[in-house]
Amino acid sequence: MPSLADAKAFLSRIQVQLGRKALIYSGNVAKEKIFGQDAYMGSHRLWLAEYGSQWSVQKSWTAPWLWQCNGDASGPGPHTIPGLSGNVDNSTIVPPMTVDDLIQQWPGA
Protein backbone atom coordinates (compact mmCIF):
# COMPACT_ATOMS: atom_id res chain seq x y z
CA MET A 1 0.00 0.00 0.00
CA PRO A 2 1.60 3.32 -1.05
CA SER A 3 2.16 6.17 1.36
CA LEU A 4 0.25 9.42 0.96
CA ALA A 5 3.42 11.04 -0.41
CA ASP A 6 3.76 8.24 -3.00
CA ALA A 7 0.11 8.63 -3.99
CA LYS A 8 0.54 12.38 -4.45
CA ALA A 9 3.67 11.87 -6.57
CA PHE A 10 1.79 9.34 -8.72
CA LEU A 11 -1.20 11.69 -9.14
CA SER A 12 1.13 14.55 -10.03
CA ARG A 13 2.89 12.43 -12.66
CA ILE A 14 -0.46 11.47 -14.21
CA GLN A 15 -1.45 15.13 -14.41
CA VAL A 16 1.84 16.04 -16.12
CA GLN A 17 1.58 13.17 -18.61
CA LEU A 18 -2.14 13.43 -19.42
CA GLY A 19 -2.75 17.11 -18.87
CA ARG A 20 -5.65 16.41 -16.51
CA LYS A 21 -6.15 15.18 -13.00
CA ALA A 22 -6.60 11.51 -12.29
CA LEU A 23 -9.69 10.15 -10.66
CA ILE A 24 -9.15 8.52 -7.26
CA TYR A 25 -10.86 5.17 -6.67
CA SER A 26 -10.74 4.28 -3.00
CA GLY A 27 -12.66 3.13 0.00
CA ASN A 28 -11.12 2.73 3.41
CA VAL A 29 -7.54 3.28 2.21
CA ALA A 30 -8.17 7.01 1.69
CA LYS A 31 -9.70 7.19 5.16
CA GLU A 32 -6.74 5.35 6.68
CA LYS A 33 -3.92 7.17 4.86
CA ILE A 34 -5.15 10.79 4.78
CA PHE A 35 -5.28 12.58 8.12
CA GLY A 36 -7.39 15.72 8.38
CA GLN A 37 -8.32 17.64 5.27
CA ASP A 38 -5.90 17.46 2.35
CA ALA A 39 -6.65 20.09 -0.31
CA TYR A 40 -4.51 18.37 -2.95
CA MET A 41 -6.26 15.03 -2.60
CA GLY A 42 -9.64 16.73 -2.31
CA SER A 43 -9.05 18.52 -5.61
CA HIS A 44 -9.33 15.13 -7.34
CA ARG A 45 -12.68 13.47 -7.97
CA LEU A 46 -13.33 10.49 -5.71
CA TRP A 47 -14.95 7.27 -6.88
CA LEU A 48 -15.81 5.83 -3.50
CA ALA A 49 -15.94 2.08 -2.96
CA GLU A 50 -18.09 1.68 0.14
CA TYR A 51 -20.65 -1.10 0.18
CA GLY A 52 -23.84 -0.30 2.03
CA SER A 53 -26.87 1.93 2.06
CA GLN A 54 -24.97 5.07 3.22
CA TRP A 55 -21.67 6.58 2.19
CA SER A 56 -19.13 8.58 4.15
CA VAL A 57 -16.02 10.18 2.74
CA GLN A 58 -12.68 11.21 4.20
CA LYS A 59 -12.62 14.90 5.27
CA SER A 60 -10.89 15.99 2.05
CA TRP A 61 -14.14 15.50 0.12
CA THR A 62 -17.70 16.61 0.79
CA ALA A 63 -19.17 13.86 -1.37
CA PRO A 64 -17.97 11.20 -3.79
CA TRP A 65 -18.02 11.83 -7.51
CA LEU A 66 -19.34 8.28 -7.94
CA TRP A 67 -20.28 5.77 -5.29
CA GLN A 68 -19.73 2.05 -5.73
CA CYS A 69 -22.40 0.95 -3.28
CA ASN A 70 -22.04 -2.79 -3.74
CA GLY A 71 -19.75 -5.45 -5.08
CA ASP A 72 -18.75 -9.07 -4.60
CA ALA A 73 -22.29 -9.81 -3.32
CA SER A 74 -21.90 -7.19 -0.54
CA GLY A 75 -24.08 -4.12 -0.20
CA PRO A 76 -27.70 -3.45 -1.09
CA GLY A 77 -27.68 -4.89 -4.63
CA PRO A 78 -28.73 -5.75 -7.19
CA HIS A 79 -25.91 -8.28 -7.36
CA THR A 80 -26.76 -9.76 -10.74
CA ILE A 81 -27.81 -8.44 -14.13
CA PRO A 82 -29.82 -10.56 -16.55
CA GLY A 83 -27.56 -11.81 -19.33
CA LEU A 84 -24.35 -11.55 -17.29
CA SER A 85 -22.95 -14.45 -15.31
CA GLY A 86 -21.75 -13.98 -11.75
CA ASN A 87 -22.00 -11.06 -9.40
CA VAL A 88 -21.67 -7.47 -10.57
CA ASP A 89 -20.46 -4.29 -8.91
CA ASN A 90 -22.76 -1.28 -9.05
CA SER A 91 -21.97 2.40 -8.85
CA THR A 92 -24.35 5.32 -8.63
CA ILE A 93 -24.19 9.08 -8.87
CA VAL A 94 -24.57 11.18 -5.73
CA PRO A 95 -26.81 14.26 -5.95
CA PRO A 96 -26.44 17.01 -6.93
CA MET A 97 -24.61 15.21 -9.77
CA THR A 98 -26.83 14.17 -12.66
CA VAL A 99 -26.39 11.54 -15.35
CA ASP A 100 -25.70 14.37 -17.83
CA ASP A 101 -22.94 15.67 -15.50
CA LEU A 102 -21.40 12.20 -15.35
CA ILE A 103 -21.40 11.84 -19.13
CA GLN A 104 -19.80 15.27 -19.55
CA GLN A 105 -17.18 14.68 -16.82
CA TRP A 106 -16.23 11.10 -17.73
CA PRO A 107 -12.50 11.00 -18.54
CA GLY A 108 -11.89 11.11 -22.26
CA ALA A 109 -15.43 12.28 -23.04
Q: 60 lies in a domain? A: yes
pLDDT digits (tens, 9 = 90+) for 67-81: 999 877 777 778 888
pLDDT score for 78 = 83
pTM, entire model = 0.85
- Report the domain count for the chain: 1
pLDDT score for 109 = 57
pLDDT score for 5 = 94
Q: 16 lies in a domain? A: no
Least trusted range by pLDDT, from 29-43, 64-78, 81-95: 64-78
pLDDT score for 21 = 93
Helix or strand (DSSP H, E) at 66: strand 66-70
Domain containing residue 80: 4-11+22-105
Q: Which is nearest to 20 in space by CA: 32, 12, 29, 28?
A: 12
Q: 17 lies in a domain? A: no
Q: Which SS3 state, helix, strand or coil, does residue 56 take?
A: coil
Q: What is the mean pLDDT of the chain?
A: 90
Q: 72 lies in a domain? A: yes
Q: 97 lies in a domain? A: yes
